[in-house]
C-alpha cells in the first residue's frame, strides 16, 4: 500500500501522526497554530495520537505541554505509549504499554553503534551522549547530535541514503533479523526490539482504544522502505507529508469536516 498525498474521501474517527517534520520542525515544539488545530480535532470528537521515534520525555515537552486536550503519545518508535490528560498543574500521564531491550541486547547494540561511529568517523556537533541516545526501549544514533543546528541536520542526509547504508552495516555486524532498524527524523537511525516498530505500536494502540483501522488516518514523512513510518502502511491509510505546513492544512480540513 502506498501513502496518500491528500485526505482520502471517507470519514475519520482517529488521527495518528508522526512528530518531527510532520507536526513540529526537528528539535522544536508545536507551534501555536498546530497546537490549536490539534486541540480542535479532539473537540470535534476525534481520537488523537502522536507517534514518534523520540523518547516520551521529549514528546511531553514538545507536544503535550502545548496541547489543552487529552491525547496519546506513542514514543520510541512504537515501543511505549502513554495517555496524557492536560491540567492546570501539568499533564497527567498514564502508561499504556512498554517493550524494552534485554541488558545483553542493549550492550551489544551500543557496542555496534560505537563501532559504526568510529568506522564512518561520525563527529557530533554536540557530544557523545547527544549522539547516541539509550532510551531503554529504543537506541538511537543521531549522527550530528540531537541538539545540532537544524540547518546542519536537514542538509546531512535528506533522502536517507547514508543512513540506509548504516543499517546494512549494522545488520552485518549484529546479525540480520535480530532487531528492527529504521531511518527517522533528519539524522537519526532508530533500533528497537525485533517486531517492535511504529506499525506494531499503532496496531497495539488501536486495539487498546477499540478503534478500527479503517476509521484511522496516519500522517508521516518517512514512508520509504527503511523509514520509520513505513510499517504503518500495513496497518491503516497513511498520508505522506513533506512539511508541517501541509499537515496544518490537512488537519484544518479535518477539524471542520
Go through the domains of the chain in sequence order and give each one's CATH number. Answer: 14-99+196-256 (3.40.50.1000), 103-193 (3.30.1240.20)
Q: What is the pLDDT of residues 18-65, one digit of tens each?
A: 999 999 986 679 999 999 999 999 999 999 999 999 999 999 999 999
Q: What is the pLDDT of residues 94-143, one digit of tens each?
A: 999 999 999 999 999 999 999 999 999 999 999 999 999 998 889 999 99
Confidence of residue 1 (pLDDT cuts 50, 70, 90): confident
Sign of the CA dihedral with 51 first, then 54, 57, and 59 last: negative
pTM of the model: 0.84
State the Cα–Cα distance between residues 211 and 88, nearest whole angstrom.
29
Amino acid at each position: 500500500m502506498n501513502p496518500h498525498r491528500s485526505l482520502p474521501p471517507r470519514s475519520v474517527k482517529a488521527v495518528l501522526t508522526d512528530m518531527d517534520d510532520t507536526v513540529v520542525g526537528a528539535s522544536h515544539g508545536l507551534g501555536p497554530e498546530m497546537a490549536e488545530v490539534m486541540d480542535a480535532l479532539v473537540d470535534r470528537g476525534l481520537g488523537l495520537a502522536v507517534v514518534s521515534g523520540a523518547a516520551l520525555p521529549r514528546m511531553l515537552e514538545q507536544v503535550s505541554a502545548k496541547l489543552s486536550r487529552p491525547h496519546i503519545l506513542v514514543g520510541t518508535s512504537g515501543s511505549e505509549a502513554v495517555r496524557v490528560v492536560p491540567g492546570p498543574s501539568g499533564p497527567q500521564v498514564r502508561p499504556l504499554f512498554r517493550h524494552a531491550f534485554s541488558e545483553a541486547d542493549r550492550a551489544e547494540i551500543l557496542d555496534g553503534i560505537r563501532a559504526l561511529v568510529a568506522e564512518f568517523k561520525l563527529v557530533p556537533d554536540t557530544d557523545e551522549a547527544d549522539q547516541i541516545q539509550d532510551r531503554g526501549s529504543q537506541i538511537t544514533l543521531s549522527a550530528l547530535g540531537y541538539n545540532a543546528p537544524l540547518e546542519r541536520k536537514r542538509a546531512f542526509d535528506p533522502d536517507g541514503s547514508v543512513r540506509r547504508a548504516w543499517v546494512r552495516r549494522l545488520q552485518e555486524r549484529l546479525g540480520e533479523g535480530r532487531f528492527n532498524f529504521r531511518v527517522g527524523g533528519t539524522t537519526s537511525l532508530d533500533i528497537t526490539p525485533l517486531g517492535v516498530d511504529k506499525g506494531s505500536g499503532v496496531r497495539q494502540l488501536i486495539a487498546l482504544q477499540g478503534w478500527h483501522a479503517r476509521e484511522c488516518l496516519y500522517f508521516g514523512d518517512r514512508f520509504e522502505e527503511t523509514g520509520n513510518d513505513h510499517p504503518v502502511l500495513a496497518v491503516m491509510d497513511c498520508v505522506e507529508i513533506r512539511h508541517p505546513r501541509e499537515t496544518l492544512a490537512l488537519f484544518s480540513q479535518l477539524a471542520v469536516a
